[in-house]
Amino acid sequence: MGCRTVSADAKKVLDSLTSWDADWKGLRVVVAGLGLSGFSAADTLIELGAIVTVIDGKNDELNQQRAETLKIVGAHQVLLGTENVRSLPQVDGQDAQLVMVSPGWNPRHPVIAEAAEAGIEIWSDIELAWRVQNRAGHTAPKWLAITGTNGKTTTVGMTESILQAAGLKAIAVGNVGTPILDAVREPVDYDVFAVELSSFQLHYTHSISPVASVVLNIAEDHVDWHDGFENYKAAKAKIYERTQVAAIFNAEEEITIRMVENADVIEGCRAIGFTTDSPSVSMIGVVESLLVDRAYIEDRKTNAVELIPLDQIGEIVPRHTAANAAAAAALTRAYGVEPEAIAQGLSGFDAGDHRIQAVARKNDILWINDSKATNPHAADASLAAFTRVVWIAGGLSKGVDYEDLVAKHAHRLAKVLLIGTDTAGLIEALSSKAPDVEVINVTAEAQNADGAAPSGTQVMTRAVYKAAEIAQPGDTVLMAPAAASMDQFSSYAQRGNAFISAVSDLMDRADEGN
């Protein structure tokens, strides 16, 4: 890049941009990425009067449609194709003053590295939303911020449900649901945003100040993007910075306690724990299958207030679901929500498909779809919820280690049915840590006669029917792959739907045979 460096004036300009009504006109911005968040950021900046150049390596039909839309509303340039993402472009013949980055672009991407070397500020859509939500004539929403390796989407959904049960104008935004900038621009004065934040977004977010924040859990994930686990943890910990009322930690994970202890919060902010065990003072936890609050009551040293019986949250409430509910309760209590609304919101919450979803129960065999378990940490939570399991597992492993997972749950495994094309690590872990458990490679068995690779649906159907032959009364057939889906399916949802369809077909055939 040579000696291009950002000027002091550019830094001063960006420091002044803290509201919708600030002078954004003429600001030169490169938006890197044309996905949902990138499109939303570009659209917002164009509306604000910035000069916007958008780049994306994909030149497919969807991006072409988005590009045309942005050109119509006033984008300066939209550059598609790999040749346009090799270096940082100029904007209207001059260097960019700001780079807006989509979550998929890691710090070592040539465009991002070039911007960082030049001292150009790099923002996420979250950073932009925090600034532009302040608008004359409108009340900016309060933020409840949520991150973690697993459980984010469930917890943000629970939080939204509780807030709405309390009669508040609330919406789940960020890494889930509505793009946050779209919500900011809606003609609705929201009271609260429940904001799901990925480590990617947090890495490029610098000034948010939520009412309450939580790191649900931490496990090794996305280390390739962050160039190491320590960087991943540091990105997650940023969620606690400038928290106003409650920095909420997982009392069962020491690492989240350390994050809160080291955070630079607003003076007066409390550290609040959540646990699935009996809570200490200033915690929310579980006592005799009741979710209780010992954090947000006056006499918390001697008493607790009941929030909801766990069996009212759902038919199956594994430990990690109880933890998510406790975290959501802690967040919303920090905002001032009463216990009655906690109970109403949690009992009315639907976690949706593919998250420990009970698909069928027949002949005392329970069939569970947890296709959302795309890594060992998530699969650990699923396996821990059941006593004896026929485990359908495997997929795109992303190079993770399965030994701890298998060692911890070997005693639960009746048999293991492998799907996916990247199962070498899982096979090795099973051989080493669960040598007495029979492992059946369904993908290999499903190989087509002509040598062609079987489809994901064919493999899943075979796995389900094989599981039906194996499972005994009292067993759970658990499809929790502990791996990504893109080797055989387009998404974890398609993988889950293939499982549901195969189980449904199995049940129909069984009924016809009776």
What pLDDT was estimated at residue 222?
A: 60
Kindly report, residue by residue over 18-69, the tens digit of the pLDDT. 999 999 999 999 999 999 999 999 999 999 999 999 999 999 999 999 999 9
The type of residue at 429 is A
Say whether pLDDT at 337 is over 90.
yes
Helix axes 36-48, 61-73, angle to 10 degrees: 10
CA distances to 118, 160, 161, 173, 189 from 169, rounded to whole Å, are 42, 9, 11, 13, 8
- As annotated, the binding site for ATP includes 148-154
CB distance 172 to 196 below 8 Å = yes
The H or E element containing residue 51 is strand 51-56
What pLDDT was estimated at residue 219?
A: 79
CA distances to 89, 92, 133, 168, 296 from 74, rounded to whole Å, are 18, 13, 22, 36, 49
Sequence-ordered alpha helix ranges (H) in 74-198: 110-117, 125-132, 152-165, 180-185
Kindly report, residue by residue over 136-145, the tens digit of the pLDDT. 999 999 999 9
Q: How many CB atoms lie under 10 A from the CB of residue 116?
A: 15
pTM of the model: 0.79
* Average pLDDT over every residue of 210-236: 82
What pLDDT was estimated at residue 239?
A: 97
Q: Residue 53: which of 22, 82, 85 has the closest Cα?
A: 85
Sequence-ordered alpha helix ranges (H) in 177-247: 180-185, 199-203, 223-226, 229-237
pLDDT category of residue 512 using cuts at 50, 70 and 90: low
Say whether pLDDT at 398 is over 90.
no
* Average pLDDT over every residue of 467-485: 95
What pLDDT was estimated at residue 226?
A: 64
Structure tokens at 465: 């029917």
Provide the mean pLDDT of the chain. Answer: 92
Kindly report, residue by residue over 267-311, the tens digit of the pLDDT. 999 999 999 999 999 999 999 999 999 999 999 999 999 999 999
The type of residue at 108 is R
The whole-angstrom separation of Cα 125 and Cα 196 is 12
What pLDDT was estimated at residue 1?
A: 42
* Domains parsed from the chain with CATH numbers: 19-123 (3.40.50.720), 135-347 (3.40.1190.10), 357-513 (3.90.190.20)
- As annotated, the binding site includes 148-154
Q: What percent of the chain has pLDDT over 70?
A: 96
The whole-angstrom separation of Cα 379 and Cα 387 is 14
End-to-end Cα, the chain, rounded Å: 73
Say whether pLDDT at 435 is over 50.
yes
Say whether pLDDT at 397 is over 90.
no
The whole-angstrom separation of Cα 390 and Cα 258 is 37
Q: Residue 387: which of 360, 411, 359, 364 has the closest Cα?
A: 411
* Average pLDDT over every residue of 380-390: 92
- Beta 170-174 vs 290-293: how paired, if at all? unpaired
Q: What percent of the chain has pLDDT over 90?
A: 78
Q: Residue 11: which of 127, 135, 122 has the closest Cα?
A: 122
* Beta-bridge partner residues of 170: 192
